[in-house]
Chains A and B, each alone.
Chain A
């Protein structure tokens, strides 16, 4: 199956059309053939088969059942499917309705309305198994093809989970039966993934097994760059495939070795396990060396160590992890013992390899479903022979098993923590790794914990004191140790409510704007189309708050089923380091992928320009739009171009400060795409500000009526910034608290408010000049005198110095030296009362006042 990623795939109909509709010019077929060019394998997928369909996230292809195949009038191959949804596709808050643990292999029969069930046939990746189970039933442990087998127990209709109706249950069961019969009988259509050239691999296995001494060396060289370059190459191929829109199945398979779920495995089981593992995995991996090492290191008698995914498109960091694991296993067993044991065992290996060699050739001629059984029995024979030799090592096995138990208990994060620990031992630099993991778009490990957790049979207990590498670090601030105190007095309560961060139940004075935005988004949602809206207004007029309120209401409505569901993404230009990072953040919100900016742009463009199945409408808020400006304006262009695409279903609410931003900074083609749906938030009037304050203070008697009015009038006259208004009120409560005497309840009065306003709005210059030292004041006077003399508002220090000396003589003061004058000048310059040049010009440094001459005079006169 992995070979598919590299080769072009050809989709063709199997057989003649079953029926055709003349009018619609469609013809229906019963099966489709997928031919891979390079490996020359064919896969036949028939109606009723379960399939994987290419999705937004390449790691999580959609699961579906093929219901219909037809070719439409335009010669496009189409398919109608019944969806199954994975746990990841269900909203986080609904997942808890399940009240049970969900394995990664479990899917839900999808009954959500509104998903497009008509898809392009080219998006089909391959066929899989979906087995219906009854609710209480345990998942059968199937060691083969685990990644291709899914189970369905319940159905999901967007609101709640239901047990499968007997009707659907039997239908599903039937579909499976039918499929089994077909695959068994028709040998021509064995799924391609099972058939791959195996010979080469087995040969290499034999080779390596006969000379186990090399193992350590090979392991050492494992985490070399060669692999990452290999992966990179493949990756680039994949990317290239994306670009030229070939209907490639870009699927990453999480191929887990099947034996994970068995906790304790001791020596004799090793081989059987190993065999299972190999037949599931070996054919898939083209790199023989990797395989080889793994194989032999396990035979060495170390505790069962199973490589997890061999998916080539996985990040290098993960492969590095594998290598580490192998070396770990070896390290765990006492070195000398292993050595002599391996020597003794040489013959045995030979046998074993012969056996497996024979077996490996079998599957090519046999039906894949049957092989594991037979192989397992063979392996058991050999394992009996080995059992004796292994006994001295059993203690290690136990140890390992115990450790496994210990660590196996921690659930989703254990996998990540394990990775982290193991990374520490890897001698390559972690920077490199993080980089590569970024490039290779590893999904967050937390997103698919269940896939990872079974992937270990051995784990080290975390070493105390080892630093953790930050790859999977959770962003978190430590919790406080002492509980936060609740407000005790009326003033404290008022202060809490007046804080800008306190979210009021409703936004007063923005009802109209709210309604306009709400209507806009709602109509687009209902129509299933896209659109842009530009919202402007000076800071502190409630733009972002109103938009958030709209989204909150819409989400509420969507939850109540009054509106179709939608995704909500928010980016803020100020919170991006670079405009192009916008792509990265949007993509991460939508799919959870972490990729570079350029790659993200490609993926997003593809996402929004192609009709995707199961696509919900996306509402995107772009705050501080002006910061997304680049010289070519391609970020803005793309953002506003996507909504105009037919299938994008993207609604953009762009927020910025300036009303004429589109005309001022945008090119014509960008501005035209933004459209004319504009809204501007006017600064609050004093009445509105008053209403805002009083609505927040409802039920708390902390302010005099007049005091509130004074604040709102003052702020409205200056800026109409609600934040400022609230800050002044908050400061006033503090002043009131300072001023009050001994526990007497007091409310904020005019005096307090006036003081707060003075504090915030008074110019600091006058005060600074009045508190300056005498010579500093004289220097300012000298500057004024020089300005008046020269008629120019600029002078050199030398000129001012003359005046300064003269003034000092008049006042009867000792005249300062030039050094002192320079010190005074630089001090005033540091406060920015003066604007001065670089001081290396010394006496010829030019000086200018940073405030008006009148202010200086006013400040100096009143003494």
Chain B
């Protein structure tokens, strides 16, 4: 494509680009809302069928959706609910209660939230009256009065299910599961959790009432499917207004997916984590680079994004340190080597530093002790060094025991890229014995 041509097209593609960014941003940021489901057809069918039976036949059930973070548990549930709401027999025939373990931190709050969401008769506006005991009795009575054929089914969704387990006596869970196992108002309890050991946390009588349906989401796709997901996530939809641009874009994506460097980038990410959220993060960084002057995604964009994505946070901090601070860190590294990871205090570090200054250093200025102390405190603030115990009034700061939060390999890597590092410091870093 010649440069002139590109310029011509740039004017009309300005809106195209903003539209592309809008579509992709929506897709990558709101993964639950519109995103497609990958590799969970079976789970989808299971859950859909389960909920459909509750709605249509009034059958009570309970199930857990278990999978690591970012595996698509909430996305799956949202999809199923969206499809259910479109079914004719289900519309208006379902009450939903959504709880989150992070919000409803105890049964009292959870109970109020349930009552509020069900809009029972003791709710006025958004307020619920009565004590905890009254609320519980009221809710249980309400649920007990219903029966399979005439009451509206209720769906309880417990997000962060594992946190509900820690509520006192597991009262809420017991009652929800008990209702789902007795001839009362039909309810379905769906728990979402990332803990694999969730069943071991349930009390035995609660566990007995749980129906033991577990739907596992495992990110069980291989790299080929991963590439496919990459393609579908970046492709523009068919109904994109500017067809020629869409085609161009999609072709480019197709090329990218076959590109060796891109595949390497993706492979690397895939090796680290299989969850789609980190893929979205990577793509988000890459797509942000798309502008009018740079309308198509390139392999370099992805590489750059990957570089940003994988940088080591602590090593980055080390880059910004002064030479004195670097020296202190090196001194600590040597102490760690000598004493095999035992904690140290400022005085030890200072002595080590003094040794270096006196024997070896020609380019280094001998700093006063208070100045060194200041530098040391800066490291403390950056959390490169962590005290073993809280600083107390009685203990002197010089003798407070510390630990270094950096690995020696991190220090060496950081020194490689550290600008204008004096050579004797580098040598000292390489070997604590080099000054002998």
Check if A and B associate. yes
Name A799-833 residues within 8 Å CB distance of B.
Answer: 801, 805, 813-814, 816-820, 823-824, 827, 830-833
Of A485, A499, A813, the residue contacting B56 (CB under 8 A) is: A485
Please choose the segment from B13-21, B26-34, B175-183 that sits at the chain A interface, where 4 or more of its residues have CB less than 8 A away: B175-183
CB pair A470 B272 closer than 8 Å:
no
The answer to whether B133 has its CB under 8 Å from any CB of chain A is: yes
Is B169 interfacial (CB 8 A cutoff)?
A: yes
* Pairwise interchain contact A470-B209, C-beta atoms closer than 8 A: no
Q: Which of A468, A469, A476, A483 contacts B149 (CB 8 A)?
A: A483
Assess whether A480 is in contact with B153, with CB atoms less than 8 Å apart. yes
| Cβ-based interface call for B204 (8 A) | yes
A540 within 8 A of B: yes
Residues of A within 8 A of B128 (CB): 470
Is the CB of B69 closer than 8 A to any CB of chain A? Answer: yes
Using known A-B contacts A768-B196, A768-B218, A830-B69, determine if residue A773 contacts B272 with beta carbons closer than 8 Å.
yes
Q: Contact between B205 and A624 (Cβ–Cβ < 8 Å)?
A: yes
- Complex interface bits, A561-582 against B, C-beta within 8 A gives 1, otherwise 0: 0000000000000111110010
- B130:A434 contact, CB within 8 angstroms: yes
Contact A723 B209 (CB under 8 A): yes
Is the beta-carbon distance between B204 and A813 smaller than 8 angstroms?
no
Assuming the A-B contacts A477-B146, A480-B150, A575-B140, are A500 and B407 also in contact, with contact meaning beta carbons closer than 8 angstroms in the complex? no
User: Which of the residues B120, B142, B175 comes within 8 Å of A574, measured between beta carbons?
Assistant: B175
Segment from A134-142, A518-526, A686-694, A759-767 that makes contact with B:
A759-767
Known: A469-B129, A724-B212, A824-B272. A575 touches B175 (CB 8 A): yes
Q: Is the CB of A473 within 8 A of B120?
A: yes
A610-641 residues at the B interface, CB under 8 angstroms: 624, 627
Residues of A within 8 A of B143 (CB): 477
Which B57-77 residues have C-beta < 8 A from chain A? 57-60, 66, 68-69
Residues of A within 8 A of B5 (CB): none
- Among the listed A434, A734, A774, A832, which residue makes an inter-chain contact with B197, where contact means beta carbons less than 8 Å apart? A832
Interface pair B216/A817, CB less than 8 Å apart:
no
Q: Does A101 contact B (CB under 8 A)?
A: no
Q: Mark B242-273, 1 if CB is under 8 A from A, else 0.
A: 00000000000000000000000000101111
Given A479-B151, A773-B273, does the pair A578, B181 have CB atoms closer than 8 Å?
no
Q: Which of B87-95, B287-295, B356-364 contacts A (4 or more CB under 8 A)?
A: B87-95
Q: In the complex, which residue of chain B has the Cβ closest to the Cβ of A721?
A: B208
Is the Cβ of B212 less than 8 Å from the Cβ of A767? no
In the complex, whether B225 has a CB less than 8 A from a CB of chain A is: no
**Nearest Cβ on chain A to B139's Cβ, whole angstroms:** 7
A617 and B209 alpha carbons, distance in the complex (Å): 32
Given the interface pairs A499-B60, A819-B312, the reply to whether A767 lies near B218 with Cβ below 8 Å is yes
A-B contact count (CB 8 A): 236
B270 near A773: Cβ-Cβ < 8 Å: yes
* Minimal Cβ-Cβ distance residue in A for B149: A484
Question: Smallest CB–CB gap between A775 and chain B, Å?
Answer: 5
B407 touches A477 (CB 8 A): no
Complex formed: what's the CA distance from A676 to B357 in Å? 84
Q: Does A474 contact B (CB under 8 A)?
A: yes
Per-residue CB proximity of A769-808 to B under 8 Å, as 1/0? 0011111100000000000000000000010010001000
A585 to B136, CA, bound (A): 12
Cβ contact within 8 Å between A819 and B314: yes
| CB–CB B311/A819 < 8 A | yes
Cβ–Cβ contact A818 & B312, under 8 A: yes
A577 touches B57 (CB 8 A): no
Contact of B240 with A by CB under 8 A = no
Contact A468-B142, Cβ < 8 Å, known A501-B60, A817-B310: no
A765 touches B407 (CB 8 A): no
List the A side residues contacting B220 at CB < 8 Å. Answer: 771
Q: Give the distance to chain A from B168, nearest Cβ to Cβ, in Å.
A: 9
Give the docked Cα–Cα distance between A819 and B341 (Å). Answer: 20
Closest chain B CB from A723 CB (angstroms): 5
A480 and B151: CB pair below 8 A?
yes
Neighbouring B residues of A479 by C-beta, 8 Å: 150-152
1/0 per residue A474-503: CB within 8 Å of B? Answer: 111111111111110000100110011111
- Among A467, A501, A723, point to the contact of B125 (Cβ < 8 A): A467
Query: Would A727 and B211 count as touching, CB distance under 8 A?
Result: yes
Residue B145 CB within 8 A of the other chain: yes
Contact of A475 among B92, B93, B138 (CB under 8 A): B138
* Interface flag for A850 (CB, 8 Å): yes
Q: Is residue A115 within 8 Å, beta carbon to beta carbon, of the partner chain? A: no
- Digit string of B27-49 for contact with A (CB within 8 Å is 1, else 0)? 00000000000000000011001
Report how far A431 CA is from B135 CA in the complex, Å.
13
Chain B residue at minimum C-beta to C-beta distance from A764: B196
Q: Are B311 and A760 in contact (CB under 8 A)?
A: no
| Chain A CB within 8 A of B25 CB | no
Residue ID in chain B nearest A495 by CB atoms: B59
Task: State how many angstroms separate the Cβ of A501 from the closest Cβ of chain B.
Answer: 4
- A residues within 8 A CB of B410? 817-818
Q: Judging by beta carbons under 8 Å apart, are B137 and A842 in contact?
A: no
Say yes or no: A830 contacts B149, CB within 8 Å.
no
- Is B375 located at the chain interface by the 8 A CB criterion? no
B102 to chain A, nearest CB (A): 14
- Complex: A818 Cα to B405 Cα, angstroms: 11
Measured CA separation A731–B120 after assembly (Å): 33
Known contacts being A477-B151, A577-B171, A768-B196, is A431 close to B139, with CB within 8 Å? Answer: no
Q: Report B-chain residues with C-beta under 8 Å of the C-beta of A495.
A: 59
Please tell me if the beta carbons of B137 and A585 are within 8 angstroms of each other in the complex: yes
Please determine whether A842 and B386 come into contact, CB atoms closer than 8 angstroms.
yes
CB of B150 within 8 A of CB of A773, answer no
Q: Answer yes or no: B355 CB below 8 A from chain A CBs.
A: no
Measured in the bound complex, the distance between the Cα atoms of B145 and A459 in whole Å is 31
When the two chains form their complex, are residues B68 and A501 in contact, meaning their CB atoms are under 8 A apart? Answer: no
Report the bound CA distance from A232 to B66 in whole Å: 54
Instruction: Pick from B69, B208, B314: contact of A540, CB below 8 A.
Output: B208
Contact in complex: A830, B68 (CB < 8 Å): yes
Which of B129, B141, B196 is close to A434, meaning CB atoms less than 8 Å apart? B129
Q: In the complex, A469 Cα to B284 Cα: how many Å?
A: 50
Q: How far is the CB of B138 from chain A (nearest CB, A)?
A: 5
Is B415 in contact with chain A by the CB < 8 A criterion?
no
- Report whether A814 and B268 are in contact in the complex, using a CB–CB cutoff of 8 Å: yes
Mark B residues whose CB is within 8 Å of A. Answer: 45-46, 49, 56-60, 66, 68-69, 89, 92-93, 95, 107-108, 118, 120-125, 128-134, 136-143, 145-146, 148-154, 169, 171, 174-175, 178, 181-185, 194-197, 204-205, 207-209, 211-214, 216, 218-220, 268, 270-274, 310-315, 341, 383, 386, 403, 405-407, 409-410
For the A-B complex with A478-B152, A482-B89 known, give 9 more contacts whose Cβ atoms are closer than 8 Å.
A469-B129, A477-B142, A480-B150, A499-B59, A575-B171, A771-B218, A798-B407, A819-B312, A827-B68
**Hey, which bits of chain A sit against chain B, CB under 8 A?**
430-431, 434, 438, 467-471, 473-487, 492, 495-496, 499-503, 538-540, 574-578, 581, 584-585, 624, 627, 657, 721, 723-724, 727-728, 730-731, 734, 738, 759-760, 764-765, 767-768, 771-776, 798, 801, 805, 813-814, 816-820, 823-824, 827, 830-833, 841-844, 850
User: What are some 10 contacts across the A-B interface (CB < 8 A)?
Assistant: A438-B131, A475-B121, A475-B139, A478-B152, A574-B169, A657-B205, A734-B46, A768-B68, A771-B220, A832-B195
